[in-house]
Chain A
């Protein structure tokens, strides 16, 4: 019985790294988008009205788009072999 603990450790670090990038990073971007969205719409704390800011709104939508885009690309990447097998779609060079 041979157990490669170094390999297990490396796999754990890879899972942690990717998990932080997508699992914590994307929610943070989404939250930042929400913050900009609120600023852009002119709602301050407790819903008090402040001046509207169209740039902030544009920034918010850009962040939302990045989050949604990353999720779509991620799912396509994970399922790339199946998509290739059943639909003949070749993505990411596979």
Chain B
């Protein structure tokens, strides 16, 4: 087995691992509100969400081979590698970028912060691209117009829509007996949260599919003409769908807790309005020429459901903490991506890739072990939020266990 093939396998395994972290990092976007209001039991919620993510992954497949075009200049318009780029360098860039994305996802999960998985991936790729090719390898215009500006706009748009939706819903049903209202909106919540899960599968699984396709193109075992004609190989779709579904099923309970309990105390009418806003934006934005991050939209919507409800309190401190995590996502994931690339380059070839992979496994294990100390799971995800003890790692959460 050649060294290049082994590197390709490492890249694919790492991409699948990223997809898996993407799954549990984003479970909360769809299901946090339904879990918080009790519309769905925590385990039922993650199961439904996992199945719909899998279905979504299969529904998504419009050719996703040009995934890196918005951030790097390593692909031509048709998806091939640009002339003069060494295939092994390309694979190393993708690999280092993925490692940066995974580590940022794990760290923010440990802190219970919902940050964007796509930003983590793109950040990692940008850092690795800068390290590997230099300034000219990065598509700065694309980063600003496709990633940075939408990231500032999407939470605002989502917040506005959810606030208006919430206000209408409360206004229209204020004379309905509260028990009836609760039951009705719980059904509405389940429906809208399911839609968000489906939308997540269609959007996010596709990104990993694109990364794997790019690695295969770089290696030479897949051609853009082949993708154009027959679509992506089915195994890529299947594996990516399965990884994101498994991740979703595992449930990022720490993030679910922050979104469901930390930002706003959510009632079922708010939950439905928030998820309806998220679903509508995620499903329509990509065809409107603006691909938005699921996390930014979902967080904006949940905030909006607090703004639009008369008398509801929004914990702006928690929102601020999230916003700062969003701001440093790309630089942080990018630094890790760049460091990984330098390390790979320093050691060189297969040994370099193996060392970085080993470091990834070690760091992931460390964070996992650390997370067990103050465990958040299906049993205590809804425990009361105690902002004083930095919310996430509150004593009440530990006591409820």
Q: Once the chains bind, are A11 and B276 in contact (CB under 8 Å)?
A: no
Tell yes or no: B251 within 8 A of A by CB.
no
- Chosen A-B contacts, 28 in total, with CB atoms closer than 8 Å, are A2-B141, A7-B145, A14-B289, A14-B290, A16-B160, A18-B288, A19-B161, A21-B280, A23-B162, A23-B165, A23-B280, A24-B165, A24-B168, A27-B165, A30-B184, A30-B188, A31-B172, A38-B175, A38-B176, A38-B177, A45-B176, A45-B177, A47-B179, A74-B283, A78-B202, A78-B283, A82-B58, A82-B61
Q: Once the chains bind, are A82 and B273 in contact (CB under 8 Å)?
A: no
Q: Once the chains bind, are B191 and A71 in contact (CB under 8 Å)?
A: yes
0/1 interface trace, chain B 18-50, chain A, CB 8 Å (1 if under): 000000000000000000000000000000000
User: Which of these, B188, B198, B269, B288, contacts A11 with CB under 8 Å?
Assistant: B288
User: Which of these, A5, A7, A19, contacts B277 with CB under 8 Å?
Assistant: A19
Q: Once the chains bind, are A28 and B161 in contact (CB under 8 Å)?
A: no
Q: Once the chains bind, are A19 and B202 in contact (CB under 8 Å)?
A: no
- Of the four ranges (under 10, 10 to 19, 20 to 34, 35 or more), the interface on chain B belongs to 35 or more
Residues of chain A contacted by B181 (CB below 8 angstroms) = 34
User: Which of these, A4, A8, A19, contacts B284 with CB under 8 Å?
Assistant: A19
Tell yes or no: B60 within 8 A of A by CB.
yes
Q: Once the chains bind, are B168 and A28 in contact (CB under 8 Å)?
A: yes
Q: Once the chains bind, are B177 and A46 in contact (CB under 8 Å)?
A: yes
Tell yes or no: B287 within 8 A of A by CB.
yes
- Of the four ranges (under 10, 10 to 19, 20 to 34, 35 or more), the interface on chain A belongs to 35 or more
The answer to whether residues A15 and B157 also contact, given A27-B169, A81-B62, A82-B61 and a CB cut-off of 8 A, is: yes
Q: Once the chains bind, are B277 and A44 in contact (CB under 8 Å)?
A: no
Complex Cα–Cα for A31 and B189 (A): 12
Q: Once the chains bind, are A3 and B144 in contact (CB under 8 Å)?
A: yes
Q: Once the chains bind, are B60 and A19 in contact (CB under 8 Å)?
A: no
Total of A-B residue pairs, C-beta within 8 Å: 146
Complex Cα–Cα for A28 and B167 (A): 9
Residues of chain B contacted by A3 (CB below 8 angstroms) = 141, 144-145
Tell yes or no: B180 within 8 A of A by CB.
yes
Q: Once the chains bind, are B141 and A34 in contact (CB under 8 Å)?
A: no
The answer to whether residues A23 and B276 also contact, given A8-B149, A28-B169 and a CB cut-off of 8 A, is: yes
Residues of chain A contacted by B191 (CB below 8 angstroms) = 71
Q: Once the chains bind, are B157 and A34 in contact (CB under 8 Å)?
A: no
Tell yes or no: B281 within 8 A of A by CB.
yes
Tell yes or no: B153 within 8 A of A by CB.
yes
Residues of chain A contacted by B86 (CB below 8 angstroms) = none
Among all A-B residue pairs, the 7 with the closest Cβ atoms: A23-B280, A24-B165, A1-B141, A22-B280, A23-B277, A31-B172, A28-B168
